[in-house]
Chain A
Amino acid sequence: MARHECDVLIVGGGITAAMVSEKLSELRPSWKIIVVEAGKRLFDFDRRFDYRQRNLDYGENQWPGDFVADQGGRGIISRSMAVGGSALHFGGVCNRFSEEDTRLRSLYGLATDWPIEWKDLEAHYCEAEKRIGVSGEPGPLKEDSRSQPYPMPAMTMTYNLIQLKSWAEKSGIPFWTTPQAKNTVDGYGGRSRCHRCNTCEVCPTGARYSPDWTYKQLLTKKKIELHDQTLVRKLVLDEHTPRVVAAQAVKEDGSDPNVEYRAKTFVVASGYCWSSHLLLLSANARFPRGLANTSDHVGRYMTGHLAHETRIDLDLKIYPGMNEQHSLISRQFFRCAPDRPFVRHDLRVWEAPSGGPRLRDANGTVLLGDDLVADWRTRIVRGSARVRGYFDVHPDKDSRLTLDPANKNKWGDPLPIIEHRVDAATEARQAATLQHFQELFAQLARANDGKVGRTSSLGYQDHPSGGCRMGADPSTSVVNPFGRTHDHDNLFVVGSPTQPTGGCTNATLTFVALALRSTTEVAKG
């Protein structure tokens, strides 16, 4: 039985934990910080070209072994479980939410307000962008003003994006490029400049931020200890007080089924799924519904956002494949006039192939060689854009993560089920939201003799968050505005679980900013 003592134990080894441990090691250099992660450390950067190639050629996992086989569940649950977490795979898009996200109740009478001021969050966005290394250009809307410039210049717009921007703006909607956690200059954060490999989910050159960079730097400088392949199963309270005194864990390889961590402060940084899961698993006689769960809000208000998407054929010549990950964004629809029907969303435009090779023509005749190429060319004369908007949906209280007694891991712990459910107001406006998007797609198409394809809708809530929402009122939230649990003063939950609502654009930068804000509080002890 191994026993470890530290000042701060961080449970989880993803991007949130990376940022918290980095900042905490700066604020409290004398503290002993241990990061515990159930998955492996995949620090074999020199093999990423091989992994990328195997993925392109054979569809093999570009992050081999980045999961724990029996640590799954039901619902939208990312299987990525390794040092770096889901951010190993992320495309690097670093959009911010907007002030409206934090004031939904005040502005629109919907969902809830966040218990923090936008100005405060904005300052932490700047910090997150510096730590991750974000390249971007400021948008033209005054509502999106920034207190600091992006750390790096924006990613070069490809020829394709230049054409698409020219088209899209004819509709009267301003577009610019998405900010990216990718180097546009050499050396930022020790990483190389983007080589435009077109496989950002596994960046073989290290231009795209990945948390393993942070962990490796912290380990080299001996700022933290990293215990990988160690699954924390339960947090244990002091016998007489509500303070957490220990975390009980197992080595995933079975070499030690009784690992114990004792710490002054515990930080759960296990993402939107496993954070609530651990609190629920830690139920005891005094907290029978789980730790931090006096309010019965742990695992509730699970959230995210939905999307509508289409393809628009355009009278444009583009060359798909120049940089398929990079896109345009308009934030014009982040704002919704309070006297208008509520719909908030981002709007993204990507290059897209307008037609691919086919074996038979419309009559069923086999196409070979030059005939096949000639047929293909007839279908790529016009360009194509992929257009998608993530839109704001709000969770019902019963949008939940619960424990599934019928599905257990090898240690006998019930695994999570996540059942997303939107609130009644969201449900009531679904048809109007769809109509809004269809009209918007048509408006874009009209700007260039375009033809709108079928509108498809995302069947699940993307960029999930929630489950331990923050709030000032302990009866309706799990943590305070800094991530400190209402029930246990030395237990924090940080990052995506604390979001009361899921916004209408990619969420990584937001939950990193929230976690950095929490870290200042963690450092107070």
Chain B
Amino acid sequence: MNRRDLLKSLAAAATLPALTASDLVAQTTDFTPAQIATLRALAEVVLPSSLGPDGRDDAVRRFVTWVRGYKPGADRGHGYGNSQLSAPTGPSPAARYPTQFDGLDTAAKARGGATFAALTLVARRAVVEAALNDPQRVTQMPARPNGANLVADFMGLYFNGADARDVAYNAAIGRDTCRGLDDSDKAPRPLKAH
């Protein structure tokens, strides 16, 4: 790979296309429009407000893209210093989500809403907290989505990611981005306020 190709691939890897709400639905053949609406409503409750609507849409898109891109049975290699091969990836968590989407809507109806997305922010928060306590108390976000709890999976994918770390530190660290060495001896610049 020559330098020009390298820079091209770096740029491609780093750039995410701008996204509209309709794009979001169009790209997600395995999530229904209603489910996408639920995820967007969920994002408003569980993600930092500083992300704004675009940032939340981006987080939803990442979750949907992640689920769509999951490959069951994929080679997970071998751990360092471990003579055993790691077990391949398990079944997609996607199969476990429809009933959980339904569960959020059912809980919403019990609170007088038509759907989870139709609830007020406060009511949605109560539903989310209940979903993290029942039927099983979730104590931590999984490192990667596993299907056990839709809310925790969605939160985990965002909060364990590089973007969330940047928000927490209010600094453009860009942990997972190929950034070059220049200026790395300086503190990362603060994030731009939305």
| Chain B residues whose CB sits within 8 angstroms of the CB of A376 once the complex forms | 168
A76 at interface (Cβ–Cβ under 8 A)? Answer: yes
| A159-B81 CB under 8 A given contacts A49-B9, A58-B89 | no
B119 at interface (Cβ–Cβ under 8 A)? Answer: no
| Chain A residues whose CB sits within 8 angstroms of the CB of B83 once the complex forms | 72-79
**Per-position contact with B for A201-215: 1 when CB-CB < 8 Å, else 0?**
000111000000000
Tell me which residues from 111 to 165 in chain B have a Cβ below 8 Å from any Cβ of chain A: 125, 128-129, 132-133, 138-141, 143-144, 152, 155, 159-160, 162, 164-165
Q: Say yes or no: A72 contacts B84, CB within 8 Å.
A: yes
Q: Whole-angstrom distance between the alpha carbons of A79 and B85 in the complex?
A: 7
A359 at interface (Cβ–Cβ under 8 A)? Answer: yes
- Report which of B6, B46, B76, B138 forms a contact with A369, defined as CB distance below 8 A: B46
A287 at interface (Cβ–Cβ under 8 A)? Answer: no
Q: Say yes or no: A78 contacts B81, CB within 8 Å.
A: yes
Q: Whole-angstrom distance between the alpha carbons of A53 and B167 in the complex?
A: 21
| Chain B residues whose CB sits within 8 angstroms of the CB of A342 once the complex forms | none
Q: Say yes or no: A205 contacts B77, CB within 8 Å.
A: no
| Chain B residues whose CB sits within 8 angstroms of the CB of A54 once the complex forms | 74
Q: Say yes or no: A369 contacts B152, CB within 8 Å.
A: no
A295 at interface (Cβ–Cβ under 8 A)? Answer: no
Q: Whole-angstrom distance between the alpha carbons of A372 and B141 in the complex?
A: 12
Q: Say yes or no: B187 contacts A60, CB within 8 Å.
A: no
Q: Say yes or no: B1 contacts A369, CB within 8 Å.
A: no
Q: Say yes or no: A323 contacts B184, CB within 8 Å.
A: yes
Tell me which residues from 380 to 394 in chain A have a Cβ below 8 Å from any Cβ of chain B: 380
Q: Whole-angstrom distance between the alpha carbons of A73 and B180 in the complex?
A: 40
A436 at interface (Cβ–Cβ under 8 A)? Answer: no
Q: Whole-angstrom distance between the alpha carbons of A205 and B84 in the complex?
A: 29
| Chain B residues whose CB sits within 8 angstroms of the CB of A356 once the complex forms | 160
Q: Say yes or no: B141 contacts A359, CB within 8 Å.
A: yes
| Chain B residues whose CB sits within 8 angstroms of the CB of A98 once the complex forms | none
A360 at interface (Cβ–Cβ under 8 A)? Answer: yes
A368 at interface (Cβ–Cβ under 8 A)? Answer: yes
- Report which of B77, B82, B125 forms a contact with A62, defined as CB distance below 8 A: B77
Q: How far is the CB of B101 from chain A (nearest CB, A)?
A: 18
| A156-B184 CB under 8 A given contacts A79-B83, A357-B168, A376-B168 | yes
B171 at interface (Cβ–Cβ under 8 A)? Answer: yes
Q: Say yes or no: B77 contacts A67, CB within 8 Å.
A: yes
| A319-B171 CB under 8 A given contacts A58-B69, A159-B187, A196-B184 | yes
Q: Say yes or no: A60 contacts B74, CB within 8 Å.
A: yes
- Report which of A46, A60, A62 forms a contact with B71, defined as CB distance below 8 A: A60
A184 at interface (Cβ–Cβ under 8 A)? Answer: yes
B192 at interface (Cβ–Cβ under 8 A)? Answer: no
| A158-B184 CB under 8 A given contacts A58-B89, A369-B48 | yes
Tell me which residues from 1 to 51 in chain A have a Cβ below 8 Å from any Cβ of chain B: 45-46, 49
Q: Say yes or no: B173 contacts A320, CB within 8 Å.
A: yes
Question: Which range holds the interface residue count of chain A?
Answer: 35 or more
Tell me which residues from 175 to 194 in chain B have a Cβ below 8 Å from any Cβ of chain A: 175-181, 184-188
Chain A CB count within 10 A is highest, among B69, B78, B144, B177, for: B78
In the complex, what residue of chain B is closest to A204 when comparing beta carbons? Answer: B178
| A159-B188 CB under 8 A given contacts A205-B178, A380-B168 | yes
Q: Whole-angstrom distance between the alpha carbons of A487 and B39 in the complex?
A: 70
Total chain B interface residues with beta-carbon distance under 8 A:
64
Q: Whole-angstrom distance between the alpha carbons of A60 and B89 in the complex?
A: 8
Q: How far is the CB of B72 from chain A (nearest CB, A)?
A: 10
- Report which of A46, A321, A358, A380 forms a contact with B175, defined as CB distance below 8 A: A321
In the complex, what residue of chain A is closest to B167 when comparing beta carbons? Answer: A373
| Chain A residues whose CB sits within 8 angstroms of the CB of B168 once the complex forms | 357, 373, 376-377, 380
Tell me which residues from 158 to 206 in chain A have a Cβ below 8 Å from any Cβ of chain B: 158-159, 162, 184, 186, 192-199, 204-206
B70 at interface (Cβ–Cβ under 8 A)? Answer: yes
B102 at interface (Cβ–Cβ under 8 A)? Answer: no
A110 at interface (Cβ–Cβ under 8 A)? Answer: no
A59 at interface (Cβ–Cβ under 8 A)? Answer: yes
| Chain A residues whose CB sits within 8 angstroms of the CB of B139 once the complex forms | 359-360
Q: Say yes or no: B77 contacts A60, CB within 8 Å.
A: yes
| Chain A residues whose CB sits within 8 angstroms of the CB of B132 once the complex forms | 359, 366
Q: Whole-angstrom distance between the alpha carbons of A357 and B89 in the complex?
A: 25
Q: Say yes or no: B178 contacts A197, CB within 8 Å.
A: yes
Q: Whole-angstrom distance between the alpha carbons of A462 and B144 in the complex?
A: 28
| A186-B169 CB under 8 A given contacts A58-B71, A323-B184 | no
- Report which of A89, A194, A206 forms a contact with B181, defined as CB distance below 8 A: A194
In the complex, what residue of chain A is closest to B160 when comparing beta carbons? Answer: A357
A157 at interface (Cβ–Cβ under 8 A)? Answer: yes
Q: How far is the CB of A153 from chain B (nearest CB, A)?
A: 11
Q: How far is the CB of A307 from chain B (nearest CB, A)?
A: 11
A108 at interface (Cβ–Cβ under 8 A)? Answer: no
B52 at interface (Cβ–Cβ under 8 A)? Answer: no
| Chain B residues whose CB sits within 8 angstroms of the CB of A73 once the complex forms | 83
Q: How far is the CB of B162 from chain A (nearest CB, A)?
A: 7
Q: Say yes or no: B47 contacts A369, CB within 8 Å.
A: yes
Q: How far is the CB of A151 from chain B (nearest CB, A)?
A: 17
- Report which of B9, B69, B82, B173 forms a contact with A79, defined as CB distance below 8 A: B82
In the complex, what residue of chain B is closest to A418 when comparing beta carbons? Answer: B83
Q: Whole-angstrom distance between the alpha carbons of A74 and B169 in the complex?
A: 43
Q: Say yes or no: A156 contacts B185, CB within 8 Å.
A: yes
A411 at interface (Cβ–Cβ under 8 A)? Answer: no
Q: Whole-angstrom distance between the alpha carbons of A193 and B83 in the complex?
A: 33
- Report which of A53, A59, A69, A360 forms a contact with B13, defined as CB distance below 8 A: A53
| A192-B9 CB under 8 A given contacts A320-B165, A376-B168 | no
Q: Whole-angstrom distance between the alpha carbons of A489 and B46 in the complex?
A: 70
| A372-B85 CB under 8 A given contacts A58-B70, A61-B77, A159-B187 | no
Given A77-B83, A368-B128, output 10 extra A-B contacts at Cβ < 8 Å: A49-B9, A60-B76, A63-B77, A64-B75, A157-B185, A196-B181, A199-B176, A320-B165, A322-B184, A369-B45
15 contacts between A and B (CB under 8 A): A58-B71, A72-B84, A162-B185, A195-B178, A205-B1, A319-B171, A320-B165, A320-B169, A321-B175, A322-B184, A359-B138, A366-B132, A369-B46, A369-B49, A370-B49
Identify the A interface with B (CB < 8 A). 45-46, 49, 53-54, 56-67, 69, 72-80, 89, 155-159, 162, 184, 186, 192-199, 204-206, 317, 319-324, 353, 356-360, 366, 368-370, 372-373, 376-377, 380, 460, 462
- A-B residue pairs, 9 tightest by C-beta: A61-B77, A321-B175, A79-B78, A357-B159, A195-B178, A197-B178, A77-B83, A61-B75, A321-B173
